[in-house]
Amino acid sequence: MNINQFPTNGFQCAEANAALKNFTAFKIGGSCPVLIHATSLEEINHAVELCKELELKLFVLGNGFNVLAADSGFDGVNLP
């Protein structure tokens, strides 16, 4: 599956082509195709299960501290 076809239904807030620099303390980083702002444990579980099922990369960003995101971006799903 193409990451750009990731099903974002089931999430209150999901962004396409989000700039990672907006979510890191150092304000660096390229874009990622899907960024999910999980609002519950259920949304986190849903994202993890979808990524496993679709064999997509997943990165849990957290608050973005102590993270150096590459300027080339990340070709997977991010959970800040």
**C-alpha to C-alpha distance for 32 and 34, rounded to whole angstroms:** 6
pTM of the model: 0.82
Domain ranges of the chain: 3-79
Q: Is the dihedral of CA 52, 56, 60, 66 positive or negative?
A: positive
Tokens 């501290």, located at residue: 65
Q: According to the model, what pLDDT value does residue 28 have?
A: 93
Pairing of strands 31-36, 14-19: antiparallel
Q: Model confidence over 42-63: pLDDT tens digits?
A: 999 999 999 999 899 999 988 8
Mean pLDDT computed over 25-37: 93
Class of domain 3-79: alpha beta
CA distance 8 to 42: 14
